Amino acid sequence: MISYPEGFQENKKYPLVIYLHGVGTCGETTEKLRENSSFLNLQMRQTARGYILLAPLCRNGTWNEWMSRLIRLVEEVRELPCVDETRLHLTGLSMGGYGSWELAGLRPDWFASLMPVCGGGIAGLAKRLVDVPIRAFHGLRDKTVDPIESVQMAKAVNLRGGHAELILFPELEHNCWDTVYTDE
């Protein structure tokens, strides 16, 4: 699903925010995505911040299983005349956090920033992320995805000379994204 800011002008260049949902939003239709609080929070800020929002739907499985299709989709959208390809920003939560780490690691030259939420990644891709500004988030009481996943990825990027800021919430569980996506 792609969403444009109010007052969208085809001849103007806009930043692109790519949002990868978690496993609870998978399905055959975008109904769950349209009701997803994180997606809605990003969509509410869209006009004020002036960005295009791309929220692909992972119908089943994981983003890892759909990565080649996801790469093709992002390639197509970033080539739209209205997209400023120097301002692509990637975020995702839980399964989408894993997908964000992976997609950015596979195509680091595409992204102006990365913001994974409660997800982990492939440490071997960390060396490719040294030039991508990263702010990762995780709840320390998360029993679904161990916070060590985010810690290890941020550490791996930083050990290779990158800058991955990790914000850990001592009081939050897996659903730390409500705090992340509602905080200006």
Measured between alpha carbons, how far is 128 from 137 in angstroms, rounded to an integer? 20
Q: What is the pLDDT of residue 51?
A: 96
pLDDT of 46 above 80: yes
Residue 150: exposure state from Cβ atoms within 10 A (0-12, 13-18, ≥19):
buried
Place of tokens 């997606």: 39
* Tokens (6 digits) for 144: 């679904």
Tens of pLDDT, residue by residue over 60-99, are 989 999 999 999 999 999 999 999 999 999 999 999 999 9
Q: Are 39 and 33 in contact (CB under 8 A)?
A: yes
Mean pLDDT within 95-109:
97
Q: What is the pLDDT of residue 24?
A: 92
Give the rounded percent of residues in the chain with a pLDDT score beyond 70.
100
pLDDT of 11 above 80: yes
Give the rounded percent of residues in the chain with a pLDDT score beyond 90.
86
Q: What is the pLDDT of residue 34?
A: 87
Tens of pLDDT, residue by residue over 138-163, are 999 999 999 999 999 999 999 999 99
The dihedral sign for the CA sequence 34, 9, 91, 54:
positive
Output the pTM of the full model. 0.95
